[in-house]
Structure 1
């Protein structure tokens, strides 16, 4: 007869340890929650620039702290600084665009443009019953009302949280230094505690790294380039609010369906309806040759075999990630999909055939 207790001291210790550990993790997550976005952005920037950091360490003969300081300062001056300036310009142009649109609706200028459009080669399409019955002016007024309400709420929220935004910015820079300097140590520690074999860890790392590189280089940076080129083209050919439209082109370029053509094509149409036929044609050529066409051969080059998941799942991950996680979902969505695929593969190798 077995007289050993059902629960030994080792079992009790293990249960207590993990219970306390989970409680501590929960408390730490609560502590980090206000600054989570800053830490995530710092981690993303550090990962994206890690090859450059390694070169800097080599040039400085292994001085990791000095290399991390220089990389953080360079990131502040060359990446974060311009991004903040563009954000301020974007906020200003959003407000100006709203005011300009309100005046255009009230003065009837929008309806003049609509009438010119109906008189153009697209008039037959616009005379279709489902289009002709649209209340264009009512739609614009209602849309602008909702837009102004959302804009006011966002501005008020930003003003209330200006101190928190400043603190988040400083924390991001502070975290960026440590992610540069100690990121490899953090990575090694994470690999040690994962309950997988070395081969499985290597598979997870390779697939996540490939997806990260594909999203950053093959999608995010190309979309950013398309947004910049679109904004520059709008500024050259006289389309108002080029920073706003460039930002919108960047957002649409992240999507596999519409793309930046959803911005530059209406911009060319706007110039045509305003009577600037030559500018409209030149903007159309600009958009076709410099914005949309490069996208077709740059993405295969940058994504190529780096993406360790099918392209379809990559874009589904981006679209779903944007919906669930917001802007960070551009990266989080594909990474989550990649993890699911890796875990399915591990399951097939370890359990399915038993």
Structure 2
């Protein structure tokens, strides 16, 4: 009896120290948690392709992992750098275009449009006095254009810290990804050994994490890229800087409720204000039907592999964005999916008890 008590006490002390050590380890890696988690998730998704590369290299695990990381670097950093340069150039050009347009004659011509006059008569009682005067609108447009130009011209110096931080995190992610790919089997065996679950439960849990990771990462990323590209085509057709605003549209597509409408609605209004009504209608139709249908089609298509319904997916996305920022688009669905899997395991393990409780 005393021996059992002693063994129980030893285990409690061991678990206590283990908990303290794990918490201390978490504090140490907390500043680098995002690149570590991202490396693990990307490693899970890239592992099938990595195994084929490893087979071509006749089982050279380290070389295969190194080449996989190098391919990811080349496929991500170089296009991103080229896109950033193009966005900055078009941003500067757009600020110049706005500044050149903002003459008193152009503003007065815009205000003379019949439907603008009707809107102005309605808004004059709502907005402060003088806001809708031609001189005021012209000066505001010149100020905005000047601010945009200064921001884009000075973006190199202001972004040094952000770019340095981004590349540090990216290199750290590649470093972790190398070991995740190379030591995948050993890491998986360690996790299976450490988790107090049956093999079937572990299989269900790992498969759900893999499916949701694929859905969240690929679903959000590919949907955003597709909407940005398709939106940029329409912007190019109507004569608005396509690379700059297409990139903005790709980022706004990640915002629930409004999404890409934050770009194409103002673009349509601008076209209407400048008298290009046909192009304005085209922009509205393209944005609402074509760009909007991409989000309604692609995102559910990628999320269909997970076991979450639409309501759960919705709250996991907006909750993740609110708590974690952009990475919440991955963390939110992942947390919800793990919670749902664990709840199903609880239902299975305690089925007899739950059934007996329902009968009483």
2:73 corresponds to 1:72: no
| Deviations, residues 160-202 of structure 1 (Å, cap 9, x unaligned) | 4665444333222222222222234323322321122223222
Q: Deviations over 1:235-265 (max 9, x none)?
A: 443213x344223322333345334244224
CA distance in 1, matches of 2:282, 2:63: 49
How far apart, CA to CA, are the structure 1 residues paired with 2:84 and 2:348?
A: 48
2:29 to 29, 32, 43: 32
Residues 93 and 244 in structure 1, CA contact (< 8 A), matched pair in contact too: yes
Aligned match of 1:199:
200
**Cα distance change, pair 334–123 in 1 and its aligned pair in 2 (3 A):** farther
Are the structure 2 counterparts of residues 186 and 115 from structure 1 closer, same or farther at C-alpha, using a change threshold of 3 Å?
Answer: farther
> How far apart, in 2, do the equivalents of 1:256 and 1:166 lie?
28
Q: Indicate the residue corresponding to 1:227 in structure 2.
A: 228
Q: How many residues align?
A: 340
* Structure (1 or 2) with the larger CA radius of gyration: 2
Q: 1:155 to 1:51 in 2, by over 3 A?
A: same
- CA offset digits 1:280-337 (Å, max 9, x no partner): 4554454456423344443444333x02110121121111101100110001011111
CA 124–195 in structure 1, closer or farther in 2 if over 3 Å, else same: farther
Question: Per-residue displacement from partner, 1:135-170 (whole Å, max 9, x unpaired)?
Answer: 5679997xx7xx99xx89x98875446654443332
Q: Match of 1:212?
A: 213
Are 1:181 and 2:165 an aligned pair?
A: no
1:214–1:128 CA distance, 2 compared to 1 (3 A):
farther
Assess if the C-alpha contact under 8 Å between 1:211 and 1:309 holds in 2.
no
Cα gap change, 1:341/1:249 in structure 2, threshold over 3 Å: closer, same or farther? same
For 2:350, what is the secondary structure of its paired residue?
helix
Q: Tell me what 1:313 maps to.
A: 312
* Offset of residue 221 of structure 1: 1.0
Q: Can you list the C-alpha shifts for 1:210-247, whole angstroms capped at 9, x where unaligned?
A: 2222223334312221112223432443213x344223
Query: Relative to structure 1, is the Cα distance of residues 115 and 78 closer, same or farther in structure 2, using a 3 angstrom cutoff?
Result: same
| TM-score normalised over the length of structure 2 | 0.76
Name the CA shift for 1:31/1:158 in 2 (closer, same or farther; >3 Å).
farther
| C-alpha distance in 2 between matches for 1:20 and 1:298 | 47
Correspondence for 2:358: none
Gaps of at least 5 residues in structure 1 are none
Looking at structure 2, the residues matched to 326 and 98 of structure 1 have their Cα atoms a distance apart, in angstroms, of 29
Query: More displaced, 29-38 or 293-302?
Result: 293-302
**Structure 1 residue 353, shift from structure 2 partner:** 4.2
Check if 1:54 corresponds to 2:51: yes
In the superposition, relative to structure 1, how do residues 88 and 188 fare at CA in structure 2: closer, same or farther (>3 Å)?
farther
Identify if the C-alpha distance between structure 1 residues 127 and 254 changes in structure 2 by more than 3 Å, giving closer, same or farther: farther
Question: Does residue 338 of structure 1 match 2:331?
Answer: no
Alpha-carbon separation, structure 1, partners of 2:94 and 2:11: 61
In structure 2, runs of 5+ residues without a counterpart are 354-360
Distance across 1 between alignment mates of 2:108 and 2:188:
60
Distance 2:106 2:20 in 1: 59
CA deviations over 1:34-59 (Å, ceiling 9, x no partner): 32232233233333333322332233
